[in-house]
Structures are given as structure tokens and as C-alpha cells.
Structure 1
């Protein structure tokens, strides 16, 4: 790998951000002013024959001046208060999953805001609804899903407020698809290949259920309007969306409420989603991990138990970039487990929670959409990607749906999460009808079908400006390794440099502190475990790290400038990592594991670092903020030990 390449790549990113020092202030100002003026010209030319409603002398009126002064005062106060915000833009910030914003997205969102489009319907947002549909296809292509709207099995994606709502949408669609064949049976639909009993019907794989849905729609299309309407009503009356879950399962007593299988590292939004959907938190079954990735053997054991107990599985959740450690679950092994269990009559969906790691897929994608080989990628890094990580990203294309957060590694403003399903035809099962908003779309025209977007999404109102931000960003920086991938590439290189620097730090600080990276990073989150030299007590080690964190967290009672760096903390819990892994880490730190069983504090507090700022290694000025961070950490150790 050319050692000069990272610096050259940084130069290609220089126009993408406002910059740690506000270097691109003139560029952003020009863009905002240019398109604000353009918006004003649009207003003036809408019906130029209409006279101005606000007189040109209005600014001289005392009431006008009083309101202007009040507005300026409040805005200045807000601006002053916001100076206490977290400095996400700075390479000194390595805490949570936030960084500087991409200028194309920021400018596009500012540009679209005065138009105030509501992406629930084409009637309220004729342009940005189309942009949102296109943004969903852009993300689908990045994931390896079919993204050609002329294909009958083309993917579909839409934006959400965040990953939590996207995960909820995944549950909602998975349940509708799983219950669909059962409802067809209950409606006594003539033979179109409906399974023979409820258990078989409830255990169709998503692809088989979609094929049955297509046959059902084709059969209805051959009937006259009145007969087709009667059959639709008969079917609708048997759906859980009509009956409610209690009545649905009361009518199908041989079926148990399906479970969701997810790794212990899964985000808490899965618990929230199951409660919101009415399935209940008890239906979330957590699978053990190995090295903070889902343990494929443990998953197979759980699936074996489900088959034996005739316990249906709604979906298996794989995590592509865990919230705390950035680890990548073995999606390829999950896909294979699904194939094996389907042959035994236990069918289920696969959803990937890639809220954090979704945009890392750009590193694996060529500009023509094809998948890069491990050798092509590995030559650009020291260790990334490990074979199992490449296999996981390659398997994305065989999953059913994915959550991605453009407002994380997409570097876009908050309010831009995303849900993408592999086959858009399934969305017919979650469509809503509100006559005052929606109209019948052209069922054979992909873009026309989704122009009334509110039929398919949880929200009743949503920002079209956010869709503009995502779409424009993906147009400026296509989602492949040669374009958008330049940013996650910088962050993965930073993670590798951080890990190497942590190992050097551990050697240099022997006799002062024991230090280790508990789990090698799969992506760009790196944790650091610390224990004062000679200490054997877990509680003392945790108190030590918390004192360090007090110097590394955002404190609203102190000026931001007194903080040298910002990081975050998390915990290694025995229930999450398992006894063997926790003992390995504690032994390496010199902490006595013999008291764990009697100590209520069965978790280790560690520092957590999100390395997503592309300027952590500043090639222009020859500065490594990673080196500076560890130098500062060394200074803090004396304070924390005291």
C-alpha cells in the first residue's frame, strides 16, 4: 500500500466537510446564500402578478422593529447556549457515534427546509418523496440487494427518525409476512399453493411467503371486481392486523407467539419494538456471543430447541457493528443456519441491524456494484477485514431487511435513519389506506407505487429535507470504495493505528497501569481496559476508570476548551461476554477473579472510542490526534491514581 495514499485521499475529502477549524466556511456560506436567493426568486416568480403582502416600508414600522429585535435577541441567546454543545466536529472528539457533517447533505437539507416538504405523500412533497425512494435504492445497491426498479423483486427502502424506528419497521413487516399464509388458510382461499396446516404456513421462509403473496395477487386479478373485493375482505378479517394478536393466536391455538433471536450485544431498541408491536419483551431470546460476535453454535442450539418445542421464530437479528464494540456478527453462518432449518420445517426471516456499520459496506463494493475480493481490500490495510468480516458483508445480499443510519457513519444530520427490505413486494402487507391522503398507485410502476409513501411507513409526517440530504450526498459521493468509502477507510485506518498505539501504551506504562484492547476491532470502535498497577480489586479498577472518564466527558459546567479530549465509557458485563472471556480480560489486567461470584459488581468499566473523524491523523500538518490522546491519557493516569 502506498504510504502517501491516505494523505492524498484526505485531500479528496477536503471539500466534504465544514472542517475542524471551519476551513470551508466560505464554501458553505456561498452555497446557503446562493440557494436562499434561488428560493426567494422561486417565490417571486410563482405568480408574479400577485402584489407583495408585506410592504417595502414594513421594516420601518416600530412593531416590526420590536419583533425583529426580540427575534435577534432570542437567536443570539440560543447561539450562545449552543456553544456549550459537544464538539463533534473536532478530531479531539472520540466519544459517541457522531462527527462532523458532510457539506453536500448539510447544504441540501438547508436548501430544502424553506420548501418544508412532508414526505408522507406526493401531494405534499412531489420532489422529495421521489428522492427518498431513490435514496432507498442507493442504499439497497450498497448492501447488494436488487436495486433495479424494473425487476419484480427490487428492494425498497425509506428513511426513519433513526435505527429504533427502522428496527420496529422490520418487526412489523416480518410479522405481517409470517402471518399472511396462516390468514389465507383461515379464509379458505382456493388452492394457490397454501400450506396444508398452520405450522407449515407459519414457517414459510420470507421468499416462499412472497411467492405465495404474488400468486394470491395474480389470482385476485383474474376475478371480477366484486368477487375480488369479497375475497380481500374475507382474508383481511383473518389477519392479526385486523383481529389483534390475542384473537389471532386464540384462533390458532396450535401456534405459539413467535420469538425474535438476537445476540446479547443487540441494541435495546429490540426490546422496545417487541413491546410496541404487542408481542412482548418475553419473546426476545438473547443468543450468546463469542468474542462479542453472535456465537453461531449457540444460535444453532437455540434453533434446535425451537424446532423441538415447536416454537416459531419470527426473525434472527444479526448485528453489523455493535453499539459498544463495533463487532460484526457472522451473517454468513446465520444465513446457512436458516437454510438448514428451513429444510427441517422451521422458517424465519433474517434482519441485519447495521445502524452503525451499514456504510462500511462501501469498502466492499466496486463502482459497478460488484463485491470486492478479500485480497483487493486487505492490501489497503494492516488487518482489515478479517475473513469472517468479509464473509459477513458478502452475506448481506442474502438477508431480508437491514437497518442503516445515515446520521451515523453516513455523516448526515440527525433524523436520517433508514429501513431497507430486500423484496419490495412484501410491503403490500403493511400498506395503509387513508382516503383523504392516499390515492391508488399504479401497481406495476415501482416509483408510482410508493409516491404515497405514508401508506408503508410508521410516521404520518416526515421531513422531505432529510431525504434531500441523503439523496444528494449519495449522488456526490456514490456508495462504493472509490468515493464514499474514502471516509470509512480513514476511520478503519485510524482504528488500526489506535490499536497499535494502545499496545505500545500498554508496554510503555508497565509499572503504572495494566492496559489492553479487550476485543480486536472489526470496524472503527475500539475499547480500552485499564487497571492501576498492583491493584487486584475490580471495584477499585472501575473507580479508577470512572475518575479518568470524569476528565474525558463533556461537562456542561466547564468551558469546552479546558477539555483536551472527549471519549465515552461502557462496561464489559459477565452476562454479555461470558465467564471465560471476562476471566481472560481480568487476568490480563491483574484483577483477582476469585471474588467475582461474591461481588455484585460483575462488570468491568472500560473506555470506549468511536474513531469516525477522518482527520484523526492529520497528514497536512503531520499530527496524529491518536498519539496526542495517549500522551494526554498518560498525564491523566497520575491524577486518577490519586
Structure 2
């Protein structure tokens, strides 16, 4: 977004949106919908009890009525109540994520349909690893995968051989691991087919070509392999399956695989320097090694597309394979949107030079913003349509990035972030389900008759495909019901991210006004115009020229804005978070621009950890009640009033010679 003009409070809610629908979505900052949630919980708890009683009504009760009067029973009940009351008391020191006064990390109030669905399902305790343990909720997880696929613009008809496939994970970190696993399996499988000398498949001429097929070509080859295998006799199927399995990277391990194929080397993963640290962890866990993660520079906190192109050209010259290029749809610190369209374009150009790699989008944060770009029929909304009611969102390059999601190979998205659902609910979705058998632990590549496979069969034994050994079926129910109540398009679920982006535009306008109001006392800068609903704020006392002093000042300010379990929560007026702008992430040009605007000497010498970074405030604007129209309150205005008071207080402490740091 460019600099925004002042936005009136009425504009923070689109008149076309139904306020009453939003009012029914959450328990509410004041617990306003307590009666609704209580009715739902009691109703379905009673329904669960009736289900138990009617399972085999001829069975007598195993726990007699008189048991409730026994001393041991009463003593146990007393202990249980005591511990639960102590837990309840302790939890009152939790972070008040539900409040519009909380604008810190990526969490807010919970959607009532998801919360109620999870509570409803928990007593049934389904384990979504197998249909034997979760015959109902596994079907719901399959539907969640299709719901998310439709949101990203992918085929969502299970009858199509190329239908997308998605599943839930504990969070975005595990979903990113799954993306790496699948990309490696797709890349290495054609090499295994060559090594096994499978006939009649039109295999690549050499290992280099096999290892560098495009993802679509690799998936097509694995599909032809399954068709060929299904046509063999039972004995031949077993023989050829075993022969190929012995050549797979998953069987040999990295050392033996690359020792056998000396024309190849361990591939790189290319990601922006703003990428989440889970990518480093994932490469280490897979045994590829942290050195294989090549972090690329940014322009305006978005992946530098030119740097990606030049890196790919260098890799091709040096015959250095690339496993995947990662784009981030909503960076953790700044909410910025990488040019997904440029990354997809780079993949297509590389494929014409027989240099294939996967494109994975880490949309853990920004995935649900996609609902703003989708019509109820699944089609993409035009830029002008999406822009209606906003001051500047989305910029054309942001719209192009969301449009390009339809062409990427896999996506990570977190329902427990902008999906407003309980932890932990991440999700992994791949564009073409024909790739998924390559992850099967049982190494069974035949699902029915060739391509006429049973899509649901993959879910019936989901444990063969996913990293987990157990999975909560209650979470699948929560996500499924939320998506059914609020369909994943701009007219349904999109009402929520719409509020967050409008709030970000209002916050940006208020921050610019705040900078003028504080001009005599402090430098105030929004380092990067927000692409989504995160807005950062850099501050520096007027007259200060040193980076370390500015950082100490902001850390001291953040002490007033962070959760302190040693104090009553009510003493805190607002909650915000901090992050840092590092020179190697921001780039020297942007770093000098920001420091200069703050009045800090960009060439000044600073020792220690502050030498290469600027500490800034970070605000996540998720709560739909940041502007309370019912009571005429803007918590955005109130936050800046609080910030102004704290700044003046800290500046007064400084003038009196009191320490900056807590």
C-alpha cells in the first residue's frame, strides 16, 4: 500500500458487509455470545451422551448411581475440582488474545463454529491417521483439502486424476516439511526408474535430465509407471515394485543415492531471506543440510525476482540442481507478499532449459487473504473488484501474486492464524494428487486400476502419507465446519480478512498522523507500506543519532506493551510485539533510508547485537472489533494515544537522566 489518506472510522467496515454475521462469529471481546456457546456445548454434550446410551441400549450401566455417594468417588471429585479451579485461576494470566487491545502476534479470538465443532468432536476422540480410527473425521479432512484447493484456484473434483490433495498438520512448520518431502520425492523418483531400467516408459536419457524434470513431467512419469505396473501380473508387480524401491532416495538415503549417481549433487532450496526459520529446520531434518538453503535478497521486503533469476542462471551453468523455490505469502515479521507470479514464471522458463524445480508458497500467514480474491464459483476476482472499499489494497503486484497461486505446486496455510481456529491447525495442499503416492510409507503405488483410482483411499490410510503418527480428528471437524459456515470466498469468509485489511489501512493513516504529531519529540516511520494486515513502526527520540540508543528506547517502550505474568493483565492498556530490521534482510539502500528518516546516523558505529539491526514495534491487526461501531470507540486511536503518553513519559525519564533499559 502507498501512503494512505486519513480514513474515517465508518470506512473501516464496508457497508456491504453484514455486521450481524460478524457479531455471531466470535465469543466476543466481552463474552457477549456466552449464551450461544453455552447452548451449543450443552446441546451437543447431551447429544453425545445419548449416542453412548443408544450404542447398545441392552447393556446395563457399568457405573452405578450409588457410586457418586462413595467416599472415594467424592474424594476424587474434590481433587479434580480443586485442580481444575487452580488451572482456571492460573489461566487468567494468559494473554488476552480476544481483546481489541491485543495487536501483538498472529492470533486473535476464535471462530465459534470451529470452537464448537472441536468441543463437540473431542469426546469421540477420532485419530485421523486411519479410517479404522476416524471413519467420519477423515472424510471431513478430505473435504477440508478440497475446500482449500478451491480457494487457491486448483481442481477440486475428486473424479479428476489431477485433483488437488490437502491434509491438516500441527502447524505451518510441519506443512513446510511436507512440501520439502514431496518436492524431493518428485525430483528423485525418475532417477530411480532409470536405475531400475523399467521398460516402456520413455525414460529420460541420463540422470541429469531425470533429476531435472519439471514437477509436472515428473508427476506424469510416475503416473505412467503406476499404469504400467497395474497391467503386470501379480508376481511381476511385486518384482518391479521391489526393484524400483531399492533405487529410491527414500530407501538409499542421501549418501548412497548421490554416491550411485555421481553426475548429481544435493539440490538447493531457494527462499527469500525473510523466509520462516522452519525452512532451515526442515533441510536439517531431511538430511539435506542447512548449507543447501540459499537465501535471496529482497526489494521492499519482497523476494527480489531478479536475484532469483540470476541465481537460477548460475545454478544451471554450474549444474547445481534446485529442489524448490519458495515464495512467502505474508512474511512473519512484516506481512509482505512475495511476487509469486515471478517465481512461477522463472520455473516455466527454467523448464524450457530442462532445469526443473518445484514452487512452494509458504502462505501460513496470508493464505486466507486469498478469500478476498475469489468469487463464490471459485473464479478469480478482477483487481478493480477486489479494490472496492479499500484505500489502496491490493497493489497490482499483490493481486498478480494471489492470481498466480493457481500455478504453484504446493502451499502451506495455517487455519490457526487468519483462519481464526484453535492451535494447532496447519495445512499442506499440493496441486496434483498424483504426486502423493510417492510419499506412501508402504511403497504401494497402485490405488485401484491405474488412473481410475479411489481418491478417498488415500485418506483412508492417511498415516502412510503424512509425517505424524497420530492426528486430531476434532481439528479436522473444526476446520471443515468453519469453512462450511463461512465459505472460502469474498462473500463468505472474506468478510473477516476484509476487516483486518481495512484496519491496517486505518492504522497506517493514523500512524502517519502520529508521526506529524510527534515530530518535535521523536522520529516515527512506517518502514514498509503494508501488503496485508501487519504494520510495523520504527521510533527514535528526536536528537538521537545512535542505533543502540534507539533500540534501547524501543525495547523500554515494548516493556509497557508485552505480557508480564508477574502483573495483573488489567494493568496493561495494550499489547504489541517487536521485531527487528536487519541490514542483511532489508538491504543497505532501504536500511539507510529508514535510519535517515529516523534521524539515526546510518554510518554510526555500534557494538554488539545492535550493530546490524533496528528494533521496531510490530502490530498484527486481526481483531474485527478494533473499531467498535456499537460504542463509537476506535482502539486504533486509543492505542496511539497510549503510545503518545508512553513516549512522552520515557522522554521525560531520559531528560532526567534515568536509564533507558528495564
TM-score bucket (shorter structure): over 0.9
Alignment partner, residue 449 of structure 1? 458
Moved more, 142-151 or 21-30: 142-151
Q: Note the C-alpha offset of 1:8.
A: 4.9
Aligned partner of residue 371 in structure 1, secondary structure: coil
Q: Note the C-alpha offset of 1:640.
A: 2.3
Say if 2:125 and 2:473, in contact at 8 Å, map to a contact too: yes
In structure 1, distance between residues paired with 2:18 and 2:544: 44
Aligned partner of residue 360 in structure 2, secondary structure: strand
- Give 2:333's match in structure 1, choosing from 308, 316, 324: 324
Alignment partner, residue 243 of structure 1? 252
Structure 1: state its 5+ residue gaps: none
**TM-score after normalising by structure 2:** 0.95
In structure 1, distance between residues paired with 2:446 and 2:85: 45
Aligned partner of residue 448 in structure 1, secondary structure: helix
- Give 1:536's match in structure 2, choosing from 536, 545, 567: 545
Alignment partner, residue 123 of structure 1? 132
Alignment partner, residue 310 of structure 1? 319
Residues 351-406 of structure 1: per-residue CA shift (max 9 Å, x gap): 00000000000000000100000000112200000000000000001000000000
Alignment partner, residue 610 of structure 1? 620
Q: Note the C-alpha offset of 1:439.
A: 12
In structure 2, distance between residues paired with 1:181 and 1:136: 27
Give the paired residue count.
640
Aligned partner of residue 75 in structure 1, secondary structure: helix
In structure 1, distance between residues paired with 2:108 and 2:355: 43
Say if 2:17 and 2:495, in contact at 8 Å, map to a contact too: no
Q: Note the C-alpha offset of 1:619.
A: 1.3
Say if 1:94 and 1:565, in contact at 8 Å, map to a contact too: yes
Say if 2:547 and 2:606, in contact at 8 Å, map to a contact too: no
Alignment partner, residue 640 of structure 1? 650
1:218 paired with 2:246, answer: no
Alignment partner, residue 87 of structure 1? 96
Match runs of 1:107-256 below 5 Å? 107-256=116-265
Aligned partner of residue 530 in structure 2, secondary structure: coil
Say if 2:524 and 2:538, in contact at 8 Å, map to a contact too: yes
Say if 2:214 and 2:358, in contact at 8 Å, map to a contact too: yes
- Give 2:304's match in structure 1, choosing from 285, 291, 295: 295
Alignment partner, residue 624 of structure 1? 634
Aligned partner of residue 80 in structure 1, secondary structure: helix
Say if 1:7 and 1:620, in contact at 8 Å, map to a contact too: no
Q: Note the C-alpha offset of 1:434.
A: 9.8
Alignment partner, residue 62 of structure 2? 53
In structure 1, distance between residues paired with 2:565 and 2:89: 13
**TM-score after normalising by structure 1:** 0.98
1:383 paired with 2:395, answer: no
Alignment partner, residue 29 of structure 1? 38
Q: Note the C-alpha offset of 1:310.
A: 0.4
- Give 1:354's match in structure 2, choosing from 331, 341, 363: 363
Q: Note the C-alpha offset of 1:5.
A: 3.1
In structure 2, distance between residues paired with 1:252 and 1:597: 49
In structure 2, distance between residues paired with 1:193 and 1:339: 22
In structure 2, distance between residues paired with 1:441 and 1:119: 22
Moved more, 19-28 or 6-15: 6-15
1:374 paired with 2:408, answer: no
Alignment partner, residue 458 of structure 1? 467
Q: Note the C-alpha offset of 1:191.
A: 3.4
In structure 1, distance between residues paired with 2:618 and 2:606: 26
In structure 2, distance between residues paired with 1:263 and 1:207: 24
In structure 2, distance between residues paired with 1:263 and 1:510: 34
Say if 2:186 and 2:218, in contact at 8 Å, map to a contact too: yes
Aligned partner of residue 390 in structure 2, secondary structure: coil
Residues 396-442 of structure 1: per-residue CA shift (max 9 Å, x gap): 0100000000000000000110000000110110012299xx99778
Q: Note the C-alpha offset of 1:146.
A: 0.9
Say if 1:142 and 1:479, in contact at 8 Å, map to a contact too: yes
Aligned partner of residue 282 in structure 1, secondary structure: helix
Say if 2:412 and 2:429, in contact at 8 Å, map to a contact too: yes
Residues 56-76 of structure 1: per-residue CA shift (max 9 Å, x gap): 111111110000000000000
Say if 1:129 and 1:464, in contact at 8 Å, map to a contact too: yes
Alignment partner, residue 82 of structure 2? 73
- Give 2:531's match in structure 1, choosing from 522, 536, 542: 522
Moved more, 335-344 or 514-523: 335-344
Q: Note the C-alpha offset of 1:10.
A: 2.8
Say if 2:546 and 2:606, in contact at 8 Å, map to a contact too: no
Match runs of 1:333-352 below 5 Å? 333-352=342-361
Say if 2:154 and 2:164, in contact at 8 Å, map to a contact too: yes
Aligned partner of residue 261 in structure 1, secondary structure: strand
Residues 166-186 of structure 1: per-residue CA shift (max 9 Å, x gap): 000000010000001001110
Alignment partner, residue 294 of structure 2? 285
Moved more, 336-345 or 393-402: 336-345
Moved more, 189-198 or 167-176: 189-198
Aligned partner of residue 13 in structure 1, secondary structure: helix
Please tell me the root mean square deviation across aligned C-alpha atoms, in Å: 1.6
Say if 2:272 and 2:295, in contact at 8 Å, map to a contact too: yes
Say if 2:534 and 2:620, in contact at 8 Å, map to a contact too: yes
